[in-house]
A and B are shown apart, each in its own frame.
Chain A
Amino acid sequence: MKRFIGFIKKEFYHIFRDRRSLFILFGMPIAQIMLFGFAITNEINNVDIAILDHSKDITSQEIINKIASSKYFSIKQLIKNEAEIEAVFKKGKVKAVLIFEKDFSKNLTKENNATIQIITDATDPNTANTISNYTNSILQKYQQEINKNIKTPYQIVPKTRMVYNPELKSVFMFVPGVMTIILMLVSAMMTSISITREKELGTMEILLVSPIKPFQVIVGKVIPYVFLSIINAIVIVLLSIFIFKMPIQGSLFLLGVESVLFIITALALGILISTISATQQTAMMISLMGLMLPTILLSGFIFPIASMPLPLQVISNIIPAKWFVIILKGIMLKGVGLTFIWKETLILVVMTLFFIALSIKKYKIRLE
């Protein structure tokens, strides 16, 4: 046991003395989350919208003026009937259409209640969300102004409708995706490099001719990276909760357990890579080409698996990341429990056991 602890201590020395790798290790998740998060920008400026005014009265005119004078929107088109809505969206001319109901002013003054419909193009879900929020706040402000000296307040009811992507599916999609990529990269690539480094520098030769067991060498290599990966996962979750206000719907405990499972899968892959590559360079290339690319392309993180050609859909089943993305989405976005993701979890467990068995079989206790 002392041997083992001594070995792990040594591994931590390696990690902490290699400043550059350390920087990548911890800088990367933060940078990636920020990039993905802010690239899908929350700010909007001069977004083109169209207006369909059925009432054409003073109040609707006033609201239109308010909207036109804000820096967020510019009114591109006034349309005359419902049929045109589809056309302007399809041409991509506008991002949103505001519809004033008939007798807007009359409804407001007589019934204290009038409706505006906001239809947004949700192919870019973040913008769609922001547009509806901004419109709402303009309407609210206007409402406050006209209600200043009135006993029974008038109410303008905005009804928002997202078209083309009503569930805003991909808003927080990048978080599970980035988390998967980072865990894969840190765990698999870093371990495979760190094991092959011993081979390349010749220290493996000495380790082999010593009483330390190969099993201890491998587990000793893996444990520091389990820690680092867990820290990375926590950082990513915290960033998404606090910076991007992403609600984690499901159990944090389950999220943790599943993440550790995926980390072990990735580590097993890393060990497997190290058994088949002789140099750090090869290990890195295999990790990048063999793991990163499929993880990014075939996990359903960027490209929906359902829209891939059939052969790729089949291949995607052997990518561990695919299953982990499904699990993460389930826990983070839908808030489901283990009963809904046990199948994916089981697949990951089986894959992990397979990789571990294979790498134990492939691990050489000699030089050839």
Chain B
Amino acid sequence: MSILVKNITKTFKNLTAVNNISFDVKEGELFGLIGPDGAGKTTIFRILTTLLFADKGEAIVADYDVVKDYKSIRNNVGYMPGKFSLYQDLTVEENLAFFATIFGTTIEKNYDLIKDIYIQIEPFKTRRAGKLSGGMKQKLALCCALIHKPKVLFLDEPTTGVDPVSRKEFWEMLKRLQKKGITILVSTPYMDEAALCDRIALIQDGKILEIDTPQEIVKHYPKKIYDVKTDNMYKLIECLNTYEHHYSVYPFGEFVHYTDKREDFNPKDLQLFLEEMGAVNITIQPTETTIEDTFMELAK
């Protein structure tokens, strides 16, 4: 077991940031903490990286206790905080070299681990970190967190504020790192990224709603979801909310995700209802459940 969290609670003044949370991450697993801003993700990271004490509960990272053996943990984990935290006035290469020295290693020694990522920012190695684009900053930060070959990698919202292309690349990199045997705990507010993890924990208001593989989590969704679309989206949502049998109505991209209360729901009934309400170009089709749907359902 790489990370073991048992009944951790953390309170700041009157706010309970983390409320009796337990989960575990297996060795070599890519585990995601999924939840909106303020769910308590960063606090969990800080407790696990020995930066904060938990009020209650215990946690073990890479076989070390986060309170007693904090020094050993600091030797064996890589941490990338949510805010870009490298030296803006140092160049890409200097940043990397600095962190390598701090961890008692050199760039050359662990080059194979960061090669795939570093190659992309190498053309800019003499540029100051403050002048990099968001995506490149994240890649550099990841390199710096990896340079000492950590057993466990903590990534706190690594893709926030990064463009979609870089985000995709970033996750591909994580997958490759995972193959090299590094356990990764990553947090993100983006539900679409959740599907890329081995297992995820859905978090809200400091509580874990559910822990499972992304595939299983969507299976837990109790209803069949339908994509509904008409000419007037705004009016459609309004109409569906007045429909007596509706269970949930959420806008989802160009469609509205609709579920019905009845077990034997027939889409044709809805079609008739919408036609009666004067909607035109009605499309109703069954669709796959996403993690976002599950999250919305659990967070109700």
A interface residue numbers (CB < 8 A to B): 2-3, 5-7, 9-10, 13-14, 17-18, 201-203, 205-212, 365-368
Residues of B within 8 A of A366 (CB): 50-53
Decide: A208 and B51 in contact? CB cutoff 8 A.
yes
Q: B101 to A367, Cβ gap below 8 A?
A: no
A211 and B104 within 8 A (CB): yes
CA distance A211 to B104 in the complex (A): 8
Instruction: Name the contact of B74 in the complex, choosing from A2, A13, A17, A211 (C-beta under 8 A).
Output: A211
B83 engages A202 (CB within 8 Å): yes
Q: Please determine whether A202 and B85 come into contact, CB atoms closer than 8 angstroms.
A: yes
Please determine whether B49 and A201 come into contact, CB atoms closer than 8 angstroms: no
In the complex, which residue of chain A has the Cβ closest to the Cβ of B80? A206
Interface residues of B in 22-80 (CB under 8 A from A): 46, 49-53, 70-71, 73-75, 77, 79
13 CB contacts below 8 A, A to B, read A7-B98, A13-B89, A17-B90, A201-B88, A205-B81, A206-B85, A209-B74, A210-B99, A210-B103, A365-B70, A366-B53, A367-B51, A367-B52
**Which B residues are in CB contact (< 8 Å) with A3?**
101-102, 104
* B→A interface (CB under 8 Å): 46, 49-53, 70-71, 73-75, 77, 79, 81, 83-90, 94, 97-99, 101-104, 144-145
A-B pair number, CB within 8 angstroms = 81
User: Chain A contacts of B84 at CB under 8 A?
Assistant: 202
When chains A and B are docked, how far (Å) is the Cα of A314 from the Cα of B74? 47
Pair A209/B87 contact, Cβ less than 8 Å: no
Q: Are A10 and B74 in contact (CB under 8 A)?
A: no
- Choose one: A13, A203, A209; the contact of B51 (CB below 8 Å): A209
Contact B85 A6 (CB under 8 A): no
Complex formed: what's the CA distance from A95 to B179 in Å?
89
Asked whether A205 and B86 contact (CB < 8 A) given A2-B104, A6-B98, the answer is no
How distant is the Cα of A85 from the Cα of B17 in the complex, in angstroms? 82
Closest chain A residue to B85 by CB distance? A202
Asked if B86 and A203 sit within 8 Å, CB to CB, the answer is yes
Report the bound CA distance from A7 to B145 in whole Å.
17
CB distance from B108 to the nearest CB of A (A): 14
Q: Return the contact of A205 from the options B73, B85, B90, B104 (Cβ within 8 A).
A: B85
A210: B residues at CB distance < 8 A: 74, 99, 102-103
B51 touching A201, Cβ below 8 Å? no
Q: Which residues of A contact B101 (CB under 8 A)?
A: 2-3, 5-7
Bound together, the chains give a CA A349 to CA B98 distance in angstroms of 34
Q: How far is the CA of A202 from the CA of B102 in the complex (A)?
A: 16
Beta-carbon contact of A211 and B85 below 8 Å: no
CB of B53 within 8 A of CB of A14, answer: no
Inter-subunit contact B74/A208 (CB<8 Å): yes
Task: Collect the chain B residues with CB atoms within 8 Å of residue A18's CB.
Answer: 89
Cβ 8 A contact of A209, one of B53, B79, B90, B97: B79
Chain B residues whose C-beta falls within 8 Å of the C-beta of A202 in the assembled complex: 81, 83-85
Contact A211 B102 (CB under 8 A): yes
Q: Measured between alpha carbons, how far is A366 from B50 in the docked complex, in Å?
A: 7
Q: Which 10 A-B pairs have the closest CB atoms?
A: A6-B101, A202-B85, A209-B79, A367-B51, A202-B83, A17-B89, A209-B49, A211-B75, A203-B85, A212-B102
CA A3 – CA B101 in complex, angstroms?
5
Distance in angstroms between the alpha carbons of A349 and B144 in the assembled complex: 41
In the complex, chain A residues whose CB is within 8 Å of the CB of B144:
206
Partner of A206, one of B50, B81, B88: B81
A360 CB, nearest partner CB in chain B, Å = 17
Q: Are B79 and A206 in contact (CB under 8 A)?
A: yes
Q: Which of A9, A211, A212, A368 interacts with B52 by CB under 8 Å?
A: A368
Most chain B CB neighbours (cut-off 10 Å) among A9, A203, A212: A203
Residues on A with C-beta less than 8 A from B104 are: 2-3, 211
Chain A residues within an 8 Å CB radius of B79? 205-206, 209
Measured in the bound complex, the distance between the Cα atoms of B129 and A17 in whole Å is 13
> Across the two chains, which residue of chain A brings its CB closest to B106?
A2
A212 vs chain B, min Cβ distance (A): 5
